[in-house]
Amino acid sequence: MSGPAGDPAGPPVRAARPGETGRRSRPLIGITGYVEPASWAVWRGVPASLVPQAYVRSVTAAGGRAVVLPPDDLDADVVDVLDGLLLAGGADVGPERYGQPVDPRTEPRPDRDAGEWALLAAALAVDLPVLGVCRGMQLLAVAHGGSLHQHLPDVVGHDRHRPAPGVYGAHPVRFAPGSRTAAVLAGVDRVNSYHHQAVADPGRLTVTGWADDAVAEAVEDPARRFLLGVQWHPENDDDPRPVTALVRAARGS
């Protein structure tokens, strides 16, 4: 198997970190961040590195220590001090990364693509536990040779996956029996939703979850320690078990 930037075959054993003398009380989980205009106190429309607090809250509730990672394509050595990586949702993955022209409705963020591509390659190289949420799942698929539907309503004929700006949809979901996804989410039959793109081809990953309209809702790589992508937003759901599973894998339990 190969991944972005020449991911080596098979999950290698992670080397000890310099100066490491024992296990942290909480595993360190990197959350990929945005750079967006933001307003707080007296500041209005100032470019800021941020993520929705729901991601931080869900990692903390699961027993992890959240660290926000702004887009940075200069190096990915921060992976050396992380125990897990959460690829957050957000803007669209640039279609040049899967060989398609840009649809007018696609809204890429090249800075995020570059920084997250490098982080993911480094994480895969040391078999770091990885969870991809929404855009993060799509990035996982593209990084493993897959492609996306650039505007999902053109494919499924409805807007239920993103019914209105800032409004989550909800829909039934099913998981492949025997998959890691099914084990993590036993009993779940409905999830929230906010996306206008979706995985068309998972590449070398395995699709293990589907919406009722056959849209891919989960992907995984069962050969790795933990690599899971979910199309919905568990950080804003009543059932955050994908985040909990990431933290447990990062802890080694």
Please give the chain's pLDDT, 253 residues, in tens.
344 544 433 433 344 444 343 567 899 999 999 999 999 999 999 999 999 999 999 999 999 999 999 999 999 999 999 999 999 999 999 999 999 999 999 999 999 999 999 999 999 999 999 999 999 999 999 999 999 999 999 999 999 999 999 999 999 999 999 999 999 999 999 999 999 999 999 999 999 999 999 999 999 999 999 999 999 999 998 889 999 999 999 999 7
| pLDDT value, residue 57 | 97
pLDDT reported for residue 4? 57
User: DSSP strand E in 41-159: where?
Assistant: 43-50, 65-69, 84-87, 130-133, 147-149
Burial class (CB in 10 A: 0-12, 13-18, 19+), 122: buried
Two structure tokens written together for 227: 């690599």
Q: Is 107 a catalytic residue?
A: no
The residue ranges of every structural domain in the chain are: 28-36+44-251
Measure Cα distances from 178 to 64, 175, 182, 217 in Å.
27, 9, 6, 16
Instruction: Answer yes or no: 134 catalytic.
Output: yes
pLDDT for position 13: 38
Per-residue model confidence (pLDDT) at position 23: 60
pLDDT recorded at residue 7: 45
What was the pLDDT predicted at 183? Answer: 97
The residue type at 40: W
Which pLDDT value is given to residue 16?
46
Q: Which of 144, 161, 195, 233 is catalytic?
A: 233
Among residues 116, 134, 161, 220, the one annotated as catalytic is 134
Q: From CA 20, how far away is CA 12, in angstroms rounded? A: 19
> What is the pLDDT at residue 24?
73
Q: Which two tokens stand for residue 171?
A: 């829909």
Q: With a threshold of 0.75, does the pTM exceed it?
A: yes
- pLDDT for the residue numbered 9: 39
- The CATH H-level superfamily of 28-36+44-251 is Class I glutamine amidotransferase (GATase) domain (3.40.50.880)
pLDDT at position 19 is 38
CA distance 179 to 176: 6
Nearest residue to 160 via CA among 173, 174, 146, 142: 173
- Is 158 an active-site residue? no
User: Which residue in the list 116, 217, 220, 235 is annotated as catalytic?
Assistant: 235
